[in-house]
Amino acid sequence: MQKVWIYLENGTFLEANSFGATGTSVGEIVFNTSLTGYQEIITDPSYAGQFVTFTMPEIGNVGVNEEDMESKTAYCKGVLVRNYHHEHSNFRAQGDLDALLKEHNVLGICNIDTRYLTKMLRDEGAMMMIASTEVSSKEELAKKLSESPRIEDINYIKEVSTKEPYVHKFGAWNHEELAYNKAMMSDKKVVVVDFGVKRNILNELVQSGLEVEVIPSTFKAEDLIARFEAKEIGGIFLSNGPGDPLTLREEKEEVQKLIDANIPMFAICLGHQMLSIAHGFDTYKLKFGQHGGNHPVANPDNVVEITAQNHNYNVPDNIIEIAEITHQNLFDNTIEGVKYKNKEIFSVQHHPEASPGPHESKYIFDEFAKIVK
């Protein structure tokens, strides 16, 4: 293992060991409290521009495999772990995490006190950092970090969104492409606006009985409105994605047009935030965000669901002027889901596709499918 040097914008300077890719990377550091699923986290496009600190101390022990990829590549800047295990043991493993990170040019940092980092981020909030296997000087790292753009100044949607439309035909537990009867599916088709969509979200939409077409984030609302009026599609899904939603000004204008057209819509995470902004209610940044697989959320029946979450931004409390709160986070009472008044539009902040258990949120996909059909 090579040495790697880390500098945080609060002045903290650390030395550790590296695995995965080499080089120098700048991004925002956050922490994730999930006990499992490190490959899904690393390949989630919503982590573009971020370093992920795992509070789970043992990472790499179950290897990696193709089925657990949430996207075609890994968009995060790097991962920080207490102990990295190159030797893995799992019947599903097809390779090791080190090779995956090298393939997708992601820095791996290990033999570092992740408890110390997590407590720092909890107390001081998410912050920018730089890590390098090439530069060991604290002063030089500080200079490079000060000269680099902040995560909120970068539109990572352009990087993670698909460039061409495509149809997704895989269900949650079916790794074979599903054959559609076009005559039967004409009223069951939805368009997914890809801000950085996770593959498992697409799987769950298909599993609920919908035909799923994915389009780039550079969509034009007029095209979708025309297709809806022609009964070619029955609804629109706005996906998760990375970065500050307030930077997506052009996308906001297009979403506003979709809202005015009264098209049924469902959204998760960034899409949830985009709906709020398009309705005139700007999001705000949380101190250190919510990243993990153990967040309790109260649903409309006042049943507690254990949810997976990954977001740094949240919709404001005054959104109750135009929407009913359907889900609420029991850690900090932030809003987790809303249903807009007099519209077939609803959204959630957490990730119902992620299956953290024991009481889960996948029913939300079925609710959307009923509206579309």
Q: Which of 62, 77, 78, 75 shows the shortest CA–CA distance to 19? A: 78
Q: CA–CA separation, 25 vs 28, rounded Å?
A: 10
Query: Is 269 one of the annotated active-site residues of the chain?
Result: yes
**Cβ–Cβ under 8 Å, residues 24 and 135:** yes
Contact 280, 86 (CB under 8 A): no
Could you say which of 70, 251, 336, 353 is catalytic? 353
Annotated catalytic, 321? no
Tell me if residue 351 is catalytic. Answer: yes
Residue of 269, 279, 295, 336 marked catalytic = 269
What type of residue sits at position 297? V
Residues designated catalytic: 269, 351, 353
